[in-house]
Amino acid sequence: MKDNLIILGAAPCVFEDLKMIQAQDRFDFMAICKTPALKVIRDIQWLVTHEPNVDLLTALQMRKDAGLSVDLITFSNEAYPGIKYAVPELTPPTCSFDCNPRLGSLDERNQHYFSGSSALLGVKIALRLGYKKIVITGAPLNEGRYCWFQKGWTFIADALVQCPIKGTSGFPMELLGKYTEEWFNER
């Protein structure tokens, strides 16, 4: 395991975001959900999703179709076949699929948005794994219903801003700061 991690979000901007990071061989890679990076980046170690029933098989099939290894270590906030590590303790108390009445996915009051998305789950797992520098790519969380996931990030913003995390676009970059080589080289 390297000291540094790039989180590969599922937004189409992931490849543009990656261009900001020099010498990517200094990093491990964590895929979030069905990131298009699964088809291209060989050395992905981790796969994280809040919705394994939706993402897991598709993500692994993307790897297989690209001729890449499907031997990824998988994490989710819930147990599911194919998930190696279930980490329900990393789900915020306000994130409940059992709320009553159940609010639809297009309702910004839906408590699921307090999860911060699978990208924030990835950040929490990366911190738990002990990475010293974490860069979030491909997860701008600033369009459509994805804006509502900002709630989860702001819910724990006081803690996040103290962590060694930067973003390359969108809301994570605004909240945590922009990735630069200068920041990376700080000790």
Domain ranges of the chain: 4-185
Under DSSP, is residue 69 helix (H, G, I), strand (E, B) or coil?
Answer: coil
Q: What is the pTM of this model?
A: 0.90
Closest CA to 186 of 134, 110, 133: 133
- pLDDT on residue 107: 58
Q: Which two tokens stand for residue 51?
A: 């919705």
Q: How many CA atoms lie within 13 A of 126 on its CB side?
A: 34
Helix (H, G, I), strand (E, B) or coil at 31: strand
Q: What is the structure's pLDDT at 111? A: 60
Give me the phi and psi of 45, to 5 degrees please. -95, -35
* Residue 153 near residue 118, CB atoms below 8 Å: no
Q: Tokens 């998930």 map to which residue?
A: 83
Cα(181)–Cα(57) distance, rounded to whole angstroms? 35
DSSP for residue 143: S
pLDDT in tens, the chain (187 residues): 999 999 999 999 999 999 999 999 999 999 999 999 999 999 999 999 988 998 999 999 999 999 999 999 999 998 999 999 999 888 765 544 445 555 555 555 556 666 788 999 999 999 999 999 999 999 999 988 787 888 888 888 889 999 999 999 999 999 999 999 999 998 7
H/E segment holding residue 157: helix 157-160
